[in-house]
Amino acid sequence: MKKSLTADQVSLIVERSSNGSPPTLTEIAALLRLTSKAATEALFEGARKLREIYFGNRVFLYGFIYLSTYCRNNCAFCHWRTELTTLSRYRKTADEIYGAAIELAAAGVSLIDLTMGEDPQLLTPDGFELLCQTAAKIGQQTQLPIMLSPGVLSQTQLSMARRAGVTWYALYQETHNRNLFKAWRRGQDFEKRMKSKKKAAAMGFLVEEGVLLGAGATPEDLADSIVAMGKLGATQLRAMAYVPSPGGLPPDYRVKASNQELLMIAVLRLSYPRALIPASLDVEGLQGLAPRLSAGANVVTSLVPAYLGLAGVAHQALDIENHNRGVEKVSEILTSNDLSVGQPQEYQELLRQMKRNNHL
Q: Restricting to residues 99-158, which ones interact with ligand MD0 according to CB under 6 A?
A: 113, 115, 149
- Rounded CA-CA distance 347/337 in Å is 20
- Rounded CA-CA distance 114/323 in Å is 20
Of 282, 310, 318, 344, the one binding ligand MD0 (CB under 6 A) is: 282
CB 111 within 8 A of CB 63: yes
- Rounded CA-CA distance 235/199 in Å is 15
SS3 annotation, 176-223:
CCHHHHHHHCCCCCHHHHHHHHHHHHHCCCEEEEEEEECCCCCHHHHH
- From the list ligand MD0, ligand SF4, ligand SAM, none, pick the one residue 113 interacts with, judged by a Cβ distance below 5 to 8 Å according to partner type: ligand MD0
Of 13, 61, 164, 240, the one binding ligand SAM (CB under 6 A) is: 240
Position 342 contacts ligand SF4 (CB under 6 A): no
Q: Return the C-alpha torsion angle 170, 48, 328, 148, nearest 10.
A: -10
Position 71 contacts ligand SF4 (CB under 6 A): yes
- From the list ligand SF4, ligand SAM, ligand MD0, none, pick the one residue 212 interacts with, judged by a Cβ distance below 5 to 8 Å according to partner type: ligand SAM
Of 23, 46, 117, 230, the one binding ligand SF4 (CB under 6 A) is: 117
Determine the size of the site formed for ligand SAM (CB under 6 A): 20
| Site track for ligand SAM across 26-65, x = CB under 6 A | ----------------------------------------
Nearer to ligand SAM, 23 or 251 (CB): 251
Q: Which amino acid, 266?
A: A
CB neighbour list of residue 178: distance below 8 Å, 6 or more residues apart:
190
Sites of contact with ligand MD0 (CB under 6 A): 64, 113, 115, 149, 170, 280, 282, 301-302, 312-313
